[in-house]
Structures are given as C-alpha cells and as structure tokens.
Structure 1
Amino acid sequence: MAGLKDKRGFIDKERLDLSERKAVEYWMKRWGVTREQITAAHRKVGRLTKDIAAELGKRR
C-alpha cells in the first residue's frame, strides 16, 4: 500500500478517511483548503482523493 508514514502506520493517498486526523491535515495543507471544504467535497463526490481534488479545483 502506497501512503504517508504516520505514527500508527500508513495514510492512504488514494482514499481519504475523515476520521484520520493526520490524513485530513495533510490534504488541508497540500491543497490549501479548510477542513469544512474537504468535508463538503468528500460528502459530494466520495472518498477518492482524485475526485475530492477535482471538486476543489486542485491537483492531486
């Protein structure tokens, strides 16, 4: 599994789990958006980061 190393293991770069604080913080910083924007996009298009990035108008 490709992902980001975190103290508890790896963070999946293909799917975003909103309950994983480190993953949400990573994508907030990478895309320059707020938690609310990520949450709204996640609810609208699902959990795949490529779809969330497209919804936010960002590059994955």
Structure 2
Amino acid sequence: MAGLKDKRGFIDKDRIDLSERQSVEYFMKRWGVTKDQITAAHRKVGRMTKDIAAELGKKR
C-alpha cells in the first residue's frame, strides 16, 4: 500500500478513512483543522484527499 510512513504505520496519502484514527489525526495536524471539519468535508465531497483539501481551502 502506497502511503506516508507514520510512527504507527502507513497512512494512505490519497484517501482519508474516517475509521482510521491515525489518518484523521495526521491530516488534522497537517492542515490545522478539527476532526469535525474533516468529517463534514468528507461527507460533502468524498474520501479523496485532494477533494477534501480543496473543500477546506488547503493545499493537498
């Protein structure tokens, strides 16, 4: 699986899975947003990182 290596394992850089705490925490820190903001964007545009980043006004 291609992804970013984290202390706990790999994080998929192309998709955000809300059930994977490490993935959500990584993108919360990277983009400086809350879990609720990521969740709302995820529900609105889907699970692709580029789409969520665009919805949040962040660079992928």
TM > 0.5 between the two?
yes
> 2:42 matched to 1:46?
no
Aligned length: 59
CA deviations 1:23-53 (Å, max 9, x no partner) are 0000000000000000000000000000000
Unaligned runs of 5+ in 2: none
Secondary structure at 2:26's aligned position in 1? helix
Secondary structure at 2:15's aligned position in 1? coil
Aligned-pair CA distance for 1:2: 2.4
Instruction: Give the structure-2-normalised TM-score.
Output: 0.90
For 1:29, the equivalent position in structure 2 comes to 29
Instruction: Give the structure-1-normalised TM-score.
Output: 0.90
Q: Percent identity?
A: 83
Between the aligned partners of 2:12 and 2:41, the Cα distance in structure 1 is 18
Aligned-pair CA distance for 1:11: 1.4
Superposition RMSD on alpha carbons, in Å?
Answer: 1.1
For 2:58, the equivalent position in structure 1 comes to 58
